[in-house]
Copies of this chain bind each other. A is one copy, B any other.
Amino acid sequence: MIGRLNHVAIAVKDLAAATAVYKNALGAEVTEPTPQPDHGVTVVFVTLPNTKIEFLEPLGENSPIAKFLEKNPDGGIHHLCYEVDDILAARDKLKAEGARVLGDGNPKIGAHGKPVLFLHPKDFCGTLTELEQA
């Protein structure tokens, strides 16, 4: 069912510092910061040959990553995102297997403009897991 690893999301307090580490020390290709006010984050993508890293910095009040950064002041991996061909079929299969889908169970439009769902970390090896319609 799951296809490509679309991205690994890393939450950071200081996007400029994180970007500098990946650009200068690791020699990676990084994009300019993109504010996404609807999602409460500013995003930088690290473009790798086979997937991407997404740095997330809190934007505005009530950012969904604010609490995570209180617990992880150095930053840390926030979630993994897998692509699926049919997000509704994926949701129904997961529910049938007893896995918990977060929110009301209906896909939302994610940061890439595609339908996404988040799955409960306790059901997925302690890892917040996002599914994105491919």
Would you call the interface of chain A mostly helix, strand, loop, or mixed? loop
Distance of A87 from chain B, by nearest CB (Å): 13
Task: Evaluate whether A125 and B74 lie within 8 angstroms (CB atoms) in the complex, with A1-B28, A25-B93 already known.
Answer: yes
Cβ contact within 8 Å between B2 and A126: no
Cβ contact within 8 Å between A94 and B25: yes
> Which of A32-40, A49-57, A58-66, A104-112 is found at the contact surface with chain B?
A49-57
Task: Evaluate whether A125 and B18 lie within 8 angstroms (CB atoms) in the complex, with A2-B27, A28-B2, A77-B77 already known.
Answer: yes
A80 close to B (CB within 8 Å): yes
A31 close to B (CB within 8 Å): no
* Residue among B24, B94, B97, B125 making CB contact with A55, cutoff 8 Å: B125
